[in-house]
Every structure is written in C-alpha cells, then in structure tokens.
C-alpha cells in the first residue's frame, strides 16, 4: 500500500515538473531485511517498481528491464582438479580479489537480444560478464576457464543465476521480477540494481535498493559465540555430548 501511494506521488511530481528528458525508475523490493533463523530455508525476493517516462508519455517502442541482485564480494581461491597418477586432485588455482558471493540477474528478454556486448560488459550484465579481478598474471584462456568453473559451481548451488524472460512489464510502466535466494547464502548487504534498456543501451540504472541478510536470534548467538568465545563454545559442545550420552545410557539402563 505504501509503495503504491509512493508511486502515485512520484508520478504526480513527475508530471508536474515534466522537464527531465530521461525516464526515471522507482524500484522497490518485497523485503529489505532477510533474517536467517532456525527455520530459514532460503527466500524469494520480489523486485518491482515503476518506470516514469517524461511527461507521463509512454513511448511506442519497446523498453526492456533487467534487475540484478549482488551479494557482498569476497577474495577467493578457485581450484581445479586434474587427474594425477590415477586420482583427481586439486592442481591449478587462481586467486580472485573480488568475487560476488551472490549474483542473480533477471531480464524481460534474453540479454543477448536487448544489450550489445559493450554495454553488457560495462554493466556486468550476465554470468559471462562478471568482473572478478584475478590477482597475479594469468592468460585470458585460463581466466575464462576458471571464471566459467566458478560460475558453474555457484550456479549449481543456486548462488549465481541468470534467467531471461522472468521480468514482467505491465503497460510499459510497471515491472516485477522474482529472484530466489538459497539457504547457503552468506550474510551481508545485497544491492539490487534495476536497469532500463532501450535500443541496446542502458538509459537509466538505479542501484538505490539494498537488502540486508543477517542471522538473528539463536543463530546469531551461536555464530558469535563460536567466533569470539571459542573456548566456552567448545566446552559447551563437549558438555552437551557428555550429557546426552550419559542420559541415554541412564534411560536405557533403567528399563
């Protein structure tokens, strides 16, 4: 309801000023805070919003929308297994200084049809366009192989995803898309970027929406304890196992 009044107000304001030649985006998301608690099995985010055209005039030509949700970046090592002396062992590896922990993109039509290669590279649109900044010297062939390996791995785990045709645009004005977040998602600040695309180029990009994912309650307590009070935590784990083992022995011994 609040979102609707907000959109209405902005529509009105836009119509009143009516000077900006470029359209504007009013993006929003169904959930700004995702709490990880004991029943967390992943989440589904609805990214939606409105496209405000100058003077409220909707153009005849088709516009496209792409939404991207990015997780915090981390430095990682990607290792590749090779067959050495009959067994598969980690052989080569590449360090990446900033790989997104999560990356999902949804677009109204296949990305290859709505943006040209240069635009896709600049805005990192699509799984094959991720900029991972490898450290050290590495040739392009290897870089591509390892990037593809990382993308494939994370794609299987649901941490990276690309889906075309999953952004619905209604009346060239309203858009919405659903993105899935698996339970193994890391904590942090996630940035949702919405891009308005016309004639192969990005006209407007808005990354003002953020989603914060964090553990709460008991899960947060356990994580902090394991990290900061490791000695106490370990002692607690030992005590728990001793108690349960003893209890079971006692309970069954009674029978």
Partner 1 sequence: MDIYLPIAGLSVNVLVIILLGGAVGMLSGMFGVGGGFLTTPLLIFYGIPPTVAAASASTQVTGASVSGVFAHLRRGGVDFHMGAVLVAGGMLGTLFGALLFSLLEQWGQIDTVINILYVLMLGGIGGMMAKESWQSVRARRTGTTLPPRKRRHHPLVANLPGRWRFYRSGLYISPLAPLILGFVTGILTMLLGVGGGFIMIPAMLYLLGMSANVVVGTSLFQILFVTISSTMVHSLTTKAVDIVLALFLLIGSVTGAQIGARFAQRLQPDYLRLLLSAIVLLVALRMIVGLGWQPDEIYTVQLL
**By the criterion CB under 8 A, which residues form the site for partner 1?**
36-42, 74-83, 86-90, 93, 95, 146, 149-150, 152-154, 156, 182-184, 186, 215, 218-220, 222-223, 226-227, 230-231, 233-238, 240-242, 244-249, 251-252
Q: With respect to partner 1, which residue has the nearer C-beta, 8 or 237? A: 237
- The minimum distance between CB 59 and partner 1, in angstroms, equals 44
Q: What is the DSSP letter of 59?
A: P
Q: With respect to partner 1, which residue has the nearer C-beta, 76 or 203? A: 76
Q: With respect to partner 1, which residue has the nearer C-beta, 40 or 119? A: 40
Q: With respect to partner 1, which residue has the nearer C-beta, 18 or 238? A: 238
Strand order across the 43-52 sheet: 24-29, 43-52, 174-181, 167-170
- Any residues with CB less than 8 A from the CB of 253 and at least 6 apart, and which? none
Angle in degrees, 0-180, between the axes of helices 217-228 and 230-254, rounded to the nearest 10: 120
245 φ, ψ (degrees, to nearest 5): -60, -45
Q: With respect to partner 1, which residue has the nearer C-beta, 62 or 90? A: 90
Judged by DSSP in three states, 63 sits in coil
Among 93, 113, 155, which residue's Cα sits nearest to residue 130? 155
- The minimum distance between CB 27 and partner 1, in angstroms, equals 29
Say if residues 182 and 42 touch (Cβ distance below 8 Å): yes
CA-CA distances (angstroms) from residue 73 to 10, 70, 99, 133, 251? 33, 8, 5, 11, 50
Q: With respect to partner 1, which residue has the nearer C-beta, 74 or 118? A: 74
Say if residues 107 and 159 touch (Cβ distance below 8 Å): no
Determine how many CB atoms are found less than 10 A away from the CB of residue 109.
Answer: 16
């Amino acid at each position: 309801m609040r979102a609707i009044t907000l959109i209405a107000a902005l529509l009105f304001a836009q119509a009143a000023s009516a000077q900006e030649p470029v359209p504007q985006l009013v993006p929003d998301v169904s959930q700004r805070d995702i709490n990880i608690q004991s029943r967390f099995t992943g989440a589904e985010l609805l990214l939606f919003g409105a496209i405000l055209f100058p003077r409220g005039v909707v153009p005849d030509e088709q516009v496209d929308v792409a939404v991207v949700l990015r997780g915090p970046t981390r430095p990682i090592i990607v290792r590749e297994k090779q067959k050495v002396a009959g067994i598969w062992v980690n052989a080569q590896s590449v360090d990446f200084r900033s790989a997104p922990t999560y990356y999902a993109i949804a677009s109204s039509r296949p990305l290859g049809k709505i943006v040209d290669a240069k635009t896709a590279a600049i805005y990192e649109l699509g799984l094959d366009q991720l900029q991972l900044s490898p450290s050290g010297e590495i040739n392009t062939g290897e870089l591509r192989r390892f990037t593809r390996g990382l993308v494939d791995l994370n794609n299987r785990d649901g941490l990276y995803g690309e889906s075309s045709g999953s952004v619905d645009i209604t009346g060239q004005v309203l858009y919405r898309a659903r993105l899935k977040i698996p339970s193994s998602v890391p904590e942090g600040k996630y940035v949702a970027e919405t891009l308005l695309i016309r004639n192969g180029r990005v006209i407007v990009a808005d990354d003002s929406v953020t989603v914060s994912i964090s553990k709460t309650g008991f899960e947060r307590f356990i994580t902090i304890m394991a990290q900061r009070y490791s000695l106490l935590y370990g002692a607690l784990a030992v005590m728990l196992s001793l108690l349960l083992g003893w209890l079971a022995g006692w309970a069954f011994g009674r029978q």
